[in-house]
Amino acid sequence: MKSTMARLALISAAALVAGAALAQDKSVKLGNLNDMSSLYADVGGPGSTIAAQLAIEDSGLVAKGWKIDVVGGDHQNKPDVGSNITRQWYDVDNVDVILDTPNSGVALAVNQITKDKNKVFLNSGAASSDLTGKACTPNTVHWTYDTYALANTTGKAIVKNGGDSWYFLTADYAFGHALERDTEAVVLANGGKVNGKVRHPLNTADFSSFLLQAQSSKAKVIGLANAGGDTTNAIKQASEFGITSGGQKLAALLLFSSDVHALGLNVAQGLTFTESFYWDQNDATRAFSKRFQARNKNGQPPTMVQAGTYAAVLHYLKAMEALGANPRDGAKVVAKMKEMPTDDPLFGKGSIRADGRKIHPVYLFEVKKPSESKYAFDYYKQVAMVPADEAFRPLAQSECPLVKK
Amino acid sequence: MSAATQTGLIPTGAVRHNEMSVFFAMAALLALAPFGIYPFFLMQAMCFALFACAFNLLIGYVGLLSFGHAMFFGFAGYIAAHFAKLGTIDFTIPLIGIGPHINLGPINPAWAILLAVIASAILGLLTGALAIRRQGIYFAMITLALSQMIYFFCLQAPFTHGEDGIQSVPQGRFLGLFDLSHQMTMYYVVLAIFLFGFFAIYRTINSPFGEILKAIRENEPRAISLGYKVDRYKLAAFVLSAALAGLAGGTKALVSQNASLTDVHWSMSGEVVLMTLLGGMGTVFGPVIGAVVIVAMQNYLAQYGQWVTVIQGIIFVACVLLFRKGIIGEIAAKLKTAL
C-alpha cells in the first residue's frame, strides 16, 4: 500500500513536471529572411516583418500566454549567405519558422535545410513553382503566388488578345528560368510561338543590349521574366528606347504594387499582370493596409508578398493554437496547417494542398491611366478573376512526391 | 614580420619550440571548441583560415600579392560540390554538339575534395606561369584579370548553375568511414584537413625550399646571382598556394553544402588579403586569427546587412594605420619571438 502511494506520488509529480514543461513551451520564434537592402527590399523586406507582427497581434495568442518573437535577416540575394543565416537561426537561435524569402535561388536552399532540420518554411516572396513541384517538402508552404499561376493567367490573357509571338527577357537564376519555362508552355499551348530569349544577370542596371535584341526579334510581346528592380529598370528603359511606342507590347510577368509605385503611372499605365492581392480590393484589405501603412517607413501599402506573409503567419499561429503548444516538429505543424481550412481577411477562405501549395483566387489587373487614379496608391483595375481551383497547377500534373497518385 | 624571417635565418630551436607549442595549443583548443561554440561557424572559420594561410604563403614568404586567389578557392568549391553531387563530365563541344560524356556518379567526398585540389593546382600552374613573369602591381593585376575570367566562366558554365550555385550537396561518408551528415564527425574531419594544410604550410616555410622563397622575397636579384632559378621557385610556391586554397574551398563546399558565386567573386580575393593583413602578414598563426575575426564579424553582425562591409573597411584602415604588423605580428614583436 505504502509503495503504491509512493508510486502514485511519483507519477503525479512526474505529470506535474511534464505539464509544466508543456505549459512552458508556448514560445515561437519567427525569422523573416529577406532581401533587406537591394532590388527586392520593397517587395518583401522589412515590410514583411511588419506584416508578421500584425499577424501576431491579430492571432491574440500573446494575451493567452504565448511568447512570440520575430527576427529579421538580410540574405543579400546570395544562396550561401541565406543558408548560413538559416542554419544559424535553426541551430543556435531556436527559430521555428522562416518567413517570406524572396529570391527563388535562396528559397530553394532554405527549403532543403528546413526539411533536414524539420522546421517550417512559410514562403511568400519566392516565385518558383518548383517549391511545390519537384522540390516540395512536408515542411514548406508556398502561400502567395507562383510562376505557374503568373504564366497561366497573364500568358493566357495576352495570347488570347492577339499577342501570339513572344521574346523573353529572363533573369538568369532559378526564378527567371521557372517563369520563362512555365510561360513558354502556356504560350505554346495556346497557339503562340516563341521567337527567342535572352538571359540577363540578377540586379542588372543596363538593359540596352538585351532590349535591342528583343526589339530586333520582331516579336509582338516582350515577356519580362524577372522581378522587382530588374522589371522596373527594363520597363523604364524600354520606354526610353521607344519599344512600346514602336508597337511591341511589354508583358511584365511579375509586377508588384511597389514596382508600379516606383515606375509611376505615366510609364506603367496599361500594363496587365497577375497578382493574388491588391490593397484596395475590399474593406478588409483596406483596413489592413491602413494599419500596415502607419508602420511602414516608406508609407506604401502592402504588396501581395507582404500580405501573404501576414496570412501565412496568421494561419501558422492558428495551427499552433490548435496543437496547444509548440511541438518543435515542423512537419507536424505543417500537417496541421494543411488539415485546417484557411480563412483570413486578405485572401479569404482557402486551403493548403498536399504539395504545400496554398490555394486562392488570383486576379488579372491593369494599371490605371494617370487620369483614372483618384487618390494616393489608386493604381489597379481588375480585369479578370481566376477561381482558386483553376489558378494553380493541378495536382495531377505535379511532380511533387508528396502527392499520392 | 617575425625576428627570424626578418634576418632570413632558419628559426632557432627556441623559436621553433615556441611555434610548435602554439600549434599544439591551437589544435587542442580547436578540438574542444565545438562543445562551447557553434560547430558550423568554427568549420567555416577553419576553411577560411586555411585559405588565408595558403594566401599568406605567397604574400608573406615570397612577397607576391595575388589579387585573384578567390578563383582557386571558389572554383575548387564548384568542382568538389559538382563531383560530390553529380559527378558528370561533359566535353560536348558547343555548336557541333558531339563529344565524350562521362558519368562517374556522385563520388566520395574525400575524392571530390582531392579532385578540387588537383583542379586548383592545374589552374594555379596555368595562371601562375603567366603571372610570375611580372612583379608588384602588374602581378596583382594579372591575377585579378584571370580570376575575373574564371568568375565569368562560373557565372555562365551550365554545371555551376549561375546565380543559384550548386545547392544541397550531399555530405556522404568520408573515405567510406566517417558519416559527414553528423555535425561533430564533420567537424573533426574538417579539423584534420585544416591541421594537415596548416602543417604542410608550416613545414614548407621552414624547409630549405622555404628559405629560398624568403631569399627571393628579400632580394630577388641577389637570389638570381646566387644561381637560383627564381621563376621556378615562385611558380612552385604559387601552385602550392593554389592547391591549398583549393583544399580550403573544396572543404568549405562540403561544409556549407553549396558552392556559389560569392566564393569566386573578386571581393573574396580582397577579403583574404584583409584576413591576412589583420592577423599578421608573414606570421604562421596570423592568418588563422585574422580569418576567425573576419568570419566571426560576418556571422554575428549579419543582422546589420551591408554595414558589415563598412565595419570591415574601418577595421582595415585601423589595422593599416595603428598596428601594421597585424594582431599576431604585434604580439610576436612584443614577445620578441616568432609566431
- The verdict on A160 and A252 lying in the same domain is yes
How far is the alpha carbon of B267 from chain A, nearest alpha carbon, in Å? 14
Mean pLDDT of chain A: 91
Structural domain range at position A383: 148-275+362-391
Q: In A, which residues are within 8 Å of B81 by CB distance?
A: none
Q: Quick one: pLDDT at residue B8?
A: 44
Q: Quick one: pLDDT at residue B301?
A: 78
Mean pLDDT of the region A187-216 = 93
- The verdict on A240 and A353 lying in the same domain is no
The set of residues, in sequence order, having a beta carbon less than 8 Å from that of A115 and lying 6+ positions away, is: A137, A138, A139, A140
Q: How far apart are CA A24 and CA A66, in angstroms?
A: 9
pLDDT at A332 over 80: yes
Q: Quick one: pLDDT at residue A18?
A: 53
Q: Quick one: pLDDT at residue B17?
A: 80
Q: Is residue A19 in a domain?
A: no
Residue of A nearest to B164 (CA): A105
- DSSP for B66-107 reads -S-THHHHHHHHHHHHHHHHT-EEE-PPTTT----EEE--S-
Q: In B, which residues are within 8 Å of A105 by CB distance?
A: 163-165
Q: Quick one: pLDDT at residue B95?
A: 66
Q: For residue A165, what is the enclosing H or E element?
A: strand A165-171
C-alpha Rg value of chain B to the nearest Å: 20
Q: Is residue A55 in a domain?
A: yes
- The verdict on A228 and A373 lying in the same domain is yes
Q: Do A74 and B302 touch (CB under 8 A)?
A: yes
Q: Do A88 and B262 touch (CB under 8 A)?
A: no
**Around Cβ B334, how many Cβ atoms within 10 Å?**
9
Q: Do A78 and B38 touch (CB under 8 A)?
A: no
A302 torsion bin: left (phi>0), alpha (psi -120 to 50), beta (else): beta
Q: Is residue A136 in a domain?
A: yes
Q: In B, which residues are within 8 Å of A109 by CB distance?
A: 167-168, 258
Q: How far apart are CA B144 and CA B131, in angstroms?
A: 10
Q: Do B303 and A71 touch (CB under 8 A)?
A: yes
8-state DSSP, B234: H
Side-chain half-sphere exposure of A265, counting CA atoms within 13 A:
16
Q: Do A201 and B155 touch (CB under 8 A)?
A: yes
Contact A367, A268 (CB under 8 A): yes
Q: Quick one: pLDDT at residue B16?
A: 76
Q: Which amino acid is at A258?
A: S
Report CA torsion sign: B177, B180, B182, B186: positive
pLDDT-derived band at B5, boundaries 50, 70, 90 = very low
Per-residue pLDDT reduced to its tens digit, B166-192: 988 988 888 888 888 888 999 999 999
Could you tell me which of B238, B235, B201, B247 has the C-alpha nearest to residue B73? B247
pLDDT at B305 over 80: no
Mean pLDDT of the region B144-152 = 95
8-state DSSP, A394: -
How far is the alpha carbon of B120 from chain A, nearest alpha carbon, in Å? 21
Q: Is B38 on the interface with A (CB under 8 A)?
A: yes
pLDDT at B150 over 60: yes
Query: How much of chain A exceeds pLDDT 90, in percent?
Result: 80
- The verdict on A101 and A161 lying in the same domain is no
Q: For residue A358, what is the enclosing H or E element?
A: strand A358-359
More confident residue, A387 or B306: A387
Q: Do A87 and B40 touch (CB under 8 A)?
A: yes
Per-residue pLDDT reduced to its tens digit, B43-100: 999 999 999 999 999 999 999 999 999 999 999 999 999 999 988 887 766 666 677 7
- Which CATH number does the domain housing residue A372 bear? 3.40.50.2300
Q: Which member of A71, A91, A202 has the closest CB to residue B163?
A: A202
Q: Quick one: pLDDT at residue B25?
A: 93
Q: Quick one: pLDDT at residue B143?
A: 96
Mean pLDDT of the region B98-114 = 85
- The verdict on A239 and A309 lying in the same domain is no
Q: Is residue A14 in a domain?
A: no
Q: How far apart are CA A255 and CA A227, in angstroms?
A: 7
Write the burial class of residue B330 (CB in 10 Å: 0-12 exposed, 13-18 middle, 19+ buried).
middle
Q: Quick one: pLDDT at residue A273?
A: 92
Q: Which member of A36, A71, A109 has the closest CB to residue B258?
A: A109
Q: Quick one: pLDDT at residue A14?
A: 58
Q: Is B271 on the interface with A (CB under 8 A)?
A: no
- The verdict on A152 and A122 lying in the same domain is no
Q: Is residue A40 in a domain?
A: yes
How far is the alpha carbon of B302 from chain A, nearest alpha carbon, in Å? 7
Contact A182, A129 (CB under 8 A): yes
Q: Do A79 and B260 touch (CB under 8 A)?
A: yes
pLDDT at A10 over 80: no
Q: Do A84 and B303 touch (CB under 8 A)?
A: no
Q: How far apart are CA B19 and CA B202, in angstroms?
A: 9
- The verdict on A185 and A233 lying in the same domain is yes
DSSP H stretches of helix in B86-182: 109-131, 136-156
Contact A167, A214 (CB under 8 A): yes
Q: Quick one: pLDDT at residue B300?
A: 79
Per-residue pLDDT reduced to its tens digit, B261-283: 999 999 999 999 999 999 999 89
Residue of A nearest to B42 (CA): A88
Q: How far apart are CA B111 and CA B61, in angstroms?
A: 30
Q: Quick one: pLDDT at residue B3?
A: 43
Residue matched to cell numbers 493567367: A153
- The verdict on A213 and A95 lying in the same domain is no
Q: In A, which residues are within 8 Å of B306 by CB distance?
A: 37, 74, 76
Query: How much of chain A exceeds pLDDT 70, in percent?
Result: 94
Q: Do B299 and A71 touch (CB under 8 A)?
A: no
How far is the alpha carbon of A75 from chain B, nearest alpha carbon, in Å? 8
- The verdict on A129 and A160 lying in the same domain is no
Query: Which of helix, strand or coil describes residue B325?
Result: coil
Q: Quick one: pLDDT at residue B111?
A: 94
Residue-range domains of chain B with CATH: 3-335 (1.10.3470)
8-state DSSP, B252: H
Contact A126, A101 (CB under 8 A): yes
Q: Is B267 on the interface with A (CB under 8 A)?
A: no
Mean pLDDT of the region A135-162 = 94
Q: In B, which residues are within 8 Å of A92 by CB distance?
A: 38
How far is the alpha carbon of B115 from chain A, nearest alpha carbon, in Å? 22
| The overall pTM is greater than 0.80 | yes
Length of chain B: 339
Q: Is B178 on the interface with A (CB under 8 A)?
A: no
Q: Do B164 and A79 touch (CB under 8 A)?
A: yes
pLDDT-derived band at A24, boundaries 50, 70, 90 = low
Q: Quick one: pLDDT at residue B246?
A: 97
Per-residue pLDDT reduced to its tens digit, B195-233: 999 999 999 999 999 999 999 999 999 999 999 999 999
Count chain A–chain B contacts defined by CB atoms under 8 A.
70
pLDDT-derived band at B151, boundaries 50, 70, 90 = very high
Residue of B nearest to A175 (CA): B164
- Which triple of cell numbers denotes residue A146? 507562383
Residue of B nearest to A135 (CA): B168
Parallel, antiparallel or unpaired: strands A221-225 and A249-252: parallel
Q: Quick one: pLDDT at residue A16?
A: 53
Q: Is residue A383 in a domain?
A: yes
Q: Is residue A17 in a domain?
A: no
Contact B306, B264 (CB under 8 A): no
Residue of A nearest to B181 (CA): A116
Residue of B nearest to A109 (CA): B167
Q: Quick one: pLDDT at residue B7?
A: 44
Mean pLDDT of chain B: 89
Write the burial class of residue A123 (CB in 10 Å: 0-12 exposed, 13-18 middle, 19+ buried).
buried
Q: Is B283 on the interface with A (CB under 8 A)?
A: no
Per-residue pLDDT reduced to its tens digit, A28-59: 999 999 998 888 999 999 999 999 999 999 99
More confident residue, B100 or A172: A172
Q: How many helices (H) and strands (E) does chain B have?
A: 14, 4
- The verdict on A109 and A166 lying in the same domain is no
Mean pLDDT of the region A152-157 = 92
- Count of structural domains, chain A: 2
Contact A173, B164 (CB under 8 A): yes
- The verdict on A251 and A380 lying in the same domain is yes
Q: Quick one: pLDDT at residue B104?
A: 81
Q: Which amino acid is at A199?
A: R
Mean pLDDT of the region A292-313 = 94
Q: Is residue A356 in a domain?
A: yes
Q: In B, which residues are within 8 Å of A87 by CB distance?
A: 40
Residue among A84, A175, A180 with most chain B CBs within 10 A, to mutate:
A84
Could you tell me which of B195, B200, B226, B196 has the C-alpha nearest to residue B8? B226
Q: How far apart are CA A154 and CA A145, in angstroms?
A: 13
Q: How far apart are CA B186 and CA B178, in angstroms?
A: 8
- The verdict on A131 and A166 lying in the same domain is no
Q: Quick one: pLDDT at residue A8?
A: 60
Contact B108, B176 (CB under 8 A): yes
pLDDT at B306 over 80: no
Q: Quick one: pLDDT at residue B81?
A: 95
